[in-house]
Structure 1
Amino acid sequence: MNFADALRRLEPMAEITALGTVRGLDTTLIPARGYPLELIPPVPLPRKLNRALLQTPGRLRDSVRAAGAVLDRVRAEVVVGFGGYVAMPAYLAARQQGLPIVVHEANARPGVANRVAARMTTHVFTAAPSVRLAHATAIGIPLRPAITGLDRPALRHAARQRFGLRPDRPVLMATGGSQGARTINTAVAGAAPALRANGVQVLHITGPQHGVEVPDGDPPYVVVSYVDEMHYAYAAADFVICRSGAMTCAELAAVGLPAAYVPLPQRGGEQRLNAEPVVAAGGALLVDNADLDPAWIETTLIPVLTDSQRIAAMSANTWAVGAPDADVVLARHVLTAVTERRRSAS
């Protein structure tokens, strides 16, 4: 959606149709952003030899047929894919129709759909140079202008007022993403007395499925379940403790927020790979999920939070890793692919 917004800014007359499935948040997030949504059957790839795996070729054929019908109906001139259940049928349908394919891979470890598609096209883009994908050019991850244009110092005072935080004390933001993370919630809440004793405020975004109870006190420890406008939370914070999903890493780098990343132990270590570039640049700490507890926060994190010079240096190092214009860069490449197709057809 961030890419689509950038494409529309560059070419207001562009007709953009989102292709999605009933899985995930497609049916909620896409219409809310103002784009028409067409649904096709999802085709997950089973990891074990079972009946579902044997049924996959037939399901894929049906989904490719459905995707092709959508491409015909909207008179598509290019297919832009970001991986996932919807991508493989879309890529195969585009190839059957001779349409240009543009691939963007946000994760450090590419998924099956994008690995296959990278062999179909030379228009392949990734979040980081370390991503191994054929024909790839690293451009970063498309982000919202509210994030890439954020002036944290200018918005800091208003943002802290918004959350009931004091303007003159360091702020740690804790978040486990939209659904929360029990390990992060438990560790940060358990370290609340030590954080307060060292003058550190906390903005704790617990996620709707979780909750923590911290006694009132000073400096403030603010608990919320969800934040709609994350740029305010970023502006209020000096440091973040969070998971290291690809989007999270990209947003924090774009706004120059140092972090302690706690990668999910699942997914084959993918989240650790997402965090490694900013850690290597000196903009973040890395802690294993199993090692995160109140004691780690007290002994390792609090000395960082209370050192303003170190925070400033880490912030600069984080910002240097960011790629705030990836949305526009990708949109320009897509427009170029369409122009080339039109020329070859004329």
Structure 2
Amino acid sequence: MVESVLLAGGGTAGHVNPLLAVADELRLRDPGTAITVLGTAEGLEAELVPAHGYELVPVPRVPLPRRPTPDWFRLPGRLRDAVDAADAAIEASEAQVVVGFGGYVATPAYLAARRRRVPVVVHEQNARPGLANRLGARWAAAVAVTFPGTPLRGAQVTGLPLRPDILALAVARAEDAAGERRRAAAELGLDADLPTLLVTGGSLGAQSLNAAVAGAATDLLRAGVQVLHLTGKGKAEPVRAAVAQAARGGLIAQAGRYQAREYLTRMQLALAVADLVVARAGAGTVSELAALGIPAVYVPLPIGNGEQRLNARPVVDAGGGLLVADADMTPERVRDEVLPLLTDPDRLDAMADAAASVGVVDAAARVADLVEEAAR
């Protein structure tokens, strides 16, 4: 039993969503558990944590410069203030365990916990760990990781704790996948009987994915494929123009099968109807698709430290997805590789089974187990 726990993480959905999933699991096990969340006043957590019913204690945002800049000279003072704020939160909440999910607030939480000799549990979402979790893992009581091979000391593979709506979809699909598909298709105005491609570059969209798939709109429509294309905010018009051009080429009756939307609030509906997904390879995307057993064409973000390619590797190696470099994602690639896959149900079924074989549905429970062990 855990009487009080402090969870630290924020800045992006990739940090906040797993945090909330673990908080929900701990509260489900014992409604009396006191749960406090450390976060920033500016990040996504400032909205999501209170909306989820948990107390948010803000701490100063402390970016860790990766190379010498003027911020280096301000870092000691900023970090000291953030550690003091985290220390005060640990004292006020009487936390038995500090659980960190990375991001700007995790470092002060780990340092404050070490000062107070409170055990730490670390969860790392990406195959290539961030600076904060590399620090916290040095003295953590337990280290949970999403992907095998993540280079952290003592790492245990738990998978990524899933958002409640994705977890609910996984359960519903296990019970009646066809029925769930029909219900989702009806809400989206799609045909549940057509092979369906979902395209998503995340909340901001991905210009290269948009151009590649929209450029193959004529071929997709001629092949009888249905497309739900989530373009990202402000990026829908070029895709709609490409579909309109396809319609003028003699596909007016079929053009309605290609939906271009900027975003979709209830993403679980899109996942319920998708036969194949074209997407980036963020940890959340890869983990959710694998947990749901949905095959994908992963196109890793071409900037950063290469973590997205590593995130997708276990699913791709198992046969549950394809990996395509961003520079290689062209309309020709969609025509030559994505389209034949969409029209081959046997291969799609095999890929779906392979994706599910490495997917994890109960990651939140696995991390909660580690928290309880640390508390004991």
Would you call these one fold, judging by a TM-score over 0.5? Answer: yes
Verify: 1:314 aligned to 2:351, yes or no: yes
Aligned to 1:271: 308
Aligned to 2:217: 192
Please state whether the residue corresponding to 2:294 is helix, strand or coil: coil
Aligned runs of 1:34-53 on 2, under 5 Å?
34-53=53-72
Verify: 1:167 aligned to 2:192, yes or no: yes
Please state whether the residue corresponding to 1:314 is helix, strand or coil: helix
Q: Distance in 1 between matches of 2:312 and 2:234?
A: 25
Report the RMSD for the aligned CA atoms in angstroms.
1.3
Say which is worse superposed, 98-107 or 31-40, in terms of deviation: 31-40
Q: Indicate conservation of the 8 Å contact 1:304/1:310, yes or no.
A: yes
Q: Indicate conservation of the 8 Å contact 2:298/2:322, yes or no.
A: yes
Aligned runs of 1:129-168 on 2, under 5 Å?
129-148=148-167, 149-151=171-173, 152-168=177-193
Aligned residue type for 2:331: P
Aligned runs of 1:253-264 on 2, under 5 Å?
253-264=290-301
Verify: 1:325 aligned to 2:362, yes or no: yes
Deviation (angstroms), 1:55: 1.7
Q: Indicate conservation of the 8 Å contact 1:150/1:255, yes or no.
A: no
Aligned residue type for 2:182: H
Of 196, 207, 219, 1:182 maps to 207
Q: Distance in 2 between matches of 1:23 and 1:45?
A: 17
Q: Indicate conservation of the 8 Å contact 1:262/1:286, yes or no.
A: yes
Aligned positions, number: 339
1:83-103 deviations in Å (ceiling 9; x for gaps): 110000000011111111000
Runs of 4+ in 1 over 3 A off after TM superposition: none
Verify: 1:111 aligned to 2:130, yes or no: yes
Aligned runs of 1:80-95 on 2, under 5 Å?
80-95=99-114
Verify: 1:293 aligned to 2:330, yes or no: yes
1:40-72 deviations in Å (ceiling 9; x for gaps): 011111122121012212211111011111111
Aligned residue type for 1:164: G
Say which is worse superposed, 232-241 or 159-168, in terms of deviation: 159-168
Please state whether the residue corresponding to 1:16 is helix, strand or coil: strand
Deviation (angstroms), 1:242: 0.3
Aligned to 1:343: none
Structure 2, unpaired ranges of 5+: 1-19, 245-251
Q: Indicate conservation of the 8 Å contact 1:88/1:113, yes or no.
A: yes
1:244-275 deviations in Å (ceiling 9; x for gaps): 00010000000000000010011121100000
Aligned to 1:59: 78
Please state whether the residue corresponding to 2:229 is helix, strand or coil: strand
Q: Distance in 1 between matches of 2:186 and 2:212?
A: 26
Q: Indicate conservation of the 8 Å contact 1:83/1:113, yes or no.
A: yes
Deviation (angstroms), 1:217: 4.1
Q: Indicate conservation of the 8 Å contact 1:180/1:209, yes or no.
A: no
1:85-140 deviations in Å (ceiling 9; x for gaps): 00000000111111110000110001111111111123111012211100111110
Verify: 1:246 aligned to 2:283, yes or no: yes
Q: Distance in 1 between matches of 2:178 and 2:372?
A: 35
Aligned to 2:89: 70
Q: Indicate conservation of the 8 Å contact 2:141/2:374, yes or no.
A: no
Q: Distance in 2 between matches of 1:157 and 1:267?
A: 39
Q: Distance in 1 between matches of 2:229 and 2:43?
A: 25
Q: Indicate conservation of the 8 Å contact 1:173/1:202, yes or no.
A: yes
Q: Indicate conservation of the 8 Å contact 1:3/1:328, yes or no.
A: yes
